[in-house]
Amino acid sequence: MTSRQPACEPCRRSKLACDHARPSCSRCRRQKKGSECVYRASPFRRKQHSVVLSPCRTRSSRRVVDEPSISPQGGSPSGEPAPPLVRQNSRSYPNPGFLGQSSHVSIFSQIFSDQDQDGGGSNTATNSHALSSRPSPPPSMSLDEHPLARQGADILRQLLEEYELRAMESLVLFWRAGGVNLALAEPLVELCASHANYTSLSTLQGHGWHLALALRLLENTYRPLESDENSTMADFSSQFLRTRTRWETLGIFLSAVLRATMDIPCFPSLYTTESAKRGFRNVLMRLITCALDICLSLDCLNDIQLIFQYENFIIHSFMNGDQSYHLWRRLGDVISTTFAIGYHESVESRPHTPPFLVELRKTAFARIYSADKNISLFLGRPLRMSKRFCQFQIPDTPPRGPDGTSAVHEWNEDSAMSYRAETRWSALCASIKEEIMELLFDRSRVDSLAKVNALQAVADTQWAALPASFRAWDAEGHKAAESPFARDFMISVRLNHLHICFLLRRVLLSRVTEPDGSILAVAQEMLRLVVGAILLRDELANSGTTLGWKIAHYGLPAAGMILVAALAAQPAVPECFQESYPRIVQDLSVLGAELERGTIVKPQDPNYALLSKATQAIHKFLDFIHGSSSSSASTGSNGRRELHAALAQVPGPGPVEDVSWFPPQLGQDLWDSEIGFWQGLVEHPSLLNQYLASPG
């Protein structure tokens, strides 16, 4: 009797007949899939899950593998033992994560607490955190049961067949040499970027090398991360590096690679042209997104997954823009994980947590909390993360005093400029912005003036508490700063404080279309600082926010408020506008010119639509005031004569003659979103070309 013969993997997966020819069957040869035609070593074992590579085949590659693969005995040639593959069934129930006081679990925890006290046992159930189920040891896994991991394997193969691991590691190190880093994953980037992590798991040889690598990453990702009060950073990181490398490790590494491409225009071993760089980014983005989806599908919450999620959210702001739904959804996912893992509660209260992990969790909370406020303000949408339901916690908080309280706004005078310091300051500002948003959305506006004055006092106190070196930026501040990072840091710190002042003054406006002198003064300073950052962009290094963020989140609101004041129907231009008119025109001219040149944003960039509308509005306004000598005089009006009289008293760049001025009311709906505002402003009748045309 003829014995059964196994089908190759492509025919088996497609459920098609196979002629069992070797080295590749005829069907695979006809479809030009000979390289994928692999026969399993034990094809008829029902529960055979591991991917077996064909030892007699090698894949042609221009990469040189510096480390041998894991030995058949389970160890590596470097002496590091490989993690055992435990063959157990998956858990039957989902991981509930953090369960708070309103949950029924808090009631049962009291019962468990009483039993533990009566029996003298360890009181492990008094914390609701302890009731969150821990994942069981890794089960026997197969890529057939995890299609996302198989998809990730295919993208991983596509990436590594075209780009070298060592080249990507070199790109990250070159980028890091400029003093920049990922803001939250800062302590992990260089650890995750080591190519040895990935070559320790596979020789990158054989037709199924990518499947074996994906499976090992999957099995490692399922393992819990352990720590106790005596754990060090080295102990903690050893659980996700080298032979224990996880999908989160790969995701953080590739996030750093993609971020580096934003700052480094050319890196010959990876890309030399803009189109090549875009292709490289697209493959990176696909693999990063797939890696995160794999991690989330396993339902194993941990610290590095949360860090990876946050950095993925930031990546989406680069790739999809600040108004993208993808960005908004990713931020919601990060916040959901923060709540599910319980980091909105005091992370210091958890027992057996090492100090370095406490600070890392505080930093994660602070950055996610700040992002929620800034994105919500920018888009005009409700907050998702409120102090009323969170324990506000930020890194480097001073120790508590004798009364048990801690002044979170206090700083050590010798504090260094760093990503953690920027995170701390942003969170302090975001705390005030949350209160401002409540006032903005409060239709009753009861005691608004008293509340605004109280918040302004808090903001001023926080500003005064900053180390003097943080507040050193002024017109000549770039000369005092010693490094590009420090220059960018001081600009960011000042802009965040000015943004609070701007928002507080906006709360007091009876109508947004009638700005007063106080808000215009703040808007002018914000605009001046953003324009200064644009001119110094080659001397700045990302200290937590990019130049594009500064323009979109600070520069555009300031410029918009100035243009609204210029277009409003007022009997006279505000005094502060008269005194600083030449500088306003200069700053608007620089902003409009730089945006138009494409040095900051290009047509293929995601924020181009928003910034291009702002550019059009700014240029029409500048054309309006500079080219008014040829404007029509046949449509005279009181508004036109009043503006002419007001501007005639201003020492502007040239004579203003008979300007056309048609100021219909600007509705509140223009401020619903940034792009809606600029779309409405660019179509404002006072800026339309038909009113600027020559007579006849």
Confidence label for 18 from pLDDT (cuts 50, 70 and 90): confident
Q: What is the pLDDT of residue 480?
A: 59
In degrees and rounded to multiples of 5, residue 632 shows phi and psi of -75, 140
pLDDT band of residue 84 (cuts 50, 70, 90) is: very low
- Work out the angle at residue 169's Cα, subtended by the Cα atoms of residues 163 and 172, and round it to the nearest 5 degrees: 115
Q: What mean pLDDT do residues 684-696 have? A: 42
How many whole angstroms separate alpha carbon 425 and alpha carbon 489? 11
Q: Check if the beta carbon of residue 318 is closer than 8 Å to that of residue 259.
A: yes
Across 354-364, average pLDDT:
95
329 token code pair: 């959804």
Q: Average pLDDT of 342-359?
A: 90
- CB-based contacts of 72: which residues, under 8 Å, 6+ apart? none
Closest by CA to 419, choosing from 359, 373, 330, 344, is 359
Highest mean pLDDT among 333-337, 442-446, 506-510, 583-587: 333-337
* 543-559 pLDDT per residue, tens: 999 999 999 999 999 99
Question: What is the reported pLDDT for 632?
Answer: 37
Tell me 74's DSSP state.
S
Indicate if the pLDDT at residue 194 is higher than 90.
yes
Statement: residue 418 has pLDDT above 80: yes
Backbone angles phi, psi at 267, to 5 degrees: -140, 95
pLDDT for 402 equals: 58
φ/ψ of residue 302, rounded to 5: -160, 175
Tell me the two tokens of residue 119: 């029996």
Q: 85-99 pLDDT, tens per residue?
A: 333 344 445 666 666
Amino acid at 676: G
Model confidence at 136: pLDDT above 60: no
pLDDT at 661: 32
Whether the pLDDT of residue 122 is over 50: the answer is no
Q: What is the average pLDDT across 409-430?
A: 93
Query: What confidence score (pLDDT) does residue 83 get?
Result: 43
Q: Crossing angle of helices 556-567/484-508, nearest 10°?
A: 40
Burial class (CB in 10 A: 0-12, 13-18, 19+), 500: buried
pLDDT above 80 for 224: yes
Per-residue pLDDT reduced to its tens digit, 172-182? 999 999 999 99
Phi-psi region of 399 (alpha: psi -120 to 50; beta: other; left: phi over 0): beta
**Mean pLDDT to the nearest integer, 227-242:** 94
Q: What DSSP designation does 687 have? A: G
Q: Please give the share of the chain, as a percent, with pLDDT higher than 90.
A: 46
Binned at pLDDT 50, 70 and 90, residue 13 comes out as confident
Instruction: Give the torsion through C-alpha atoms of 617, 619, 621, 624, to 10 deg.
Output: -140
Give the tens place of pLDDT for each residue, 616-657. Answer: 888 888 887 766 433 433 333 444 444 334 333 333 333 333
CA atoms within 13 A on the CB side of 168: 28
Q: What is the DSSP letter of 187?
A: G
**Interval 133-156 mean pLDDT:** 79
Q: Is the dihedral of CA 689, 691, 695, 696 positive or negative?
A: positive
Side chain identity, residue 205: Q
pLDDT band at 534 (very low <50, low <70, confident <90, very high): very high
Look at residues 431, 441, 426, 319 and name the one whose alpha carbon lies nearest to residue 380: 441
CA-only gyration radius of the chain, Å: 30
Q: Do the beta carbons of residue 631 and residue 691 sit within 8 Å?
A: yes
Residue 573 above 90 pLDDT?
Answer: no
Give the amino acid at 226. Answer: E
pLDDT of residue 478: 53
| pLDDT range class, residue 75, cuts 50, 70, 90 | very low
Residues 184/190/196/200 CA torsion (nearest 10 deg): -30
- The predicted structure's pLDDT at residue 190: 95
pLDDT per residue as tens digits for the range 287-332: 999 999 999 999 889 999 999 999 999 999 999 988 899 999 999 9
pLDDT at 385 (0 to 100): 95
Asked whether 659 and 624 are in contact (CB, 8 A), the reply is yes
The C-alpha atoms of residue 209 and residue 187 are separated, in whole angstroms, by 30
Residues in the chain: 696
Mean pLDDT along residues 221-249: 94
Please determine, for residue 29, whether its predicted confidence score (pLDDT) is greater than 50: yes
Higher pLDDT, 444 or 675: 444
Looking at the DSSP bridge assignments, the partners of residue 267 are 271
Ramachandran angles phi, psi of 692, nearest 5°: -105, 0
pLDDT greater than 60 at residue 126: no
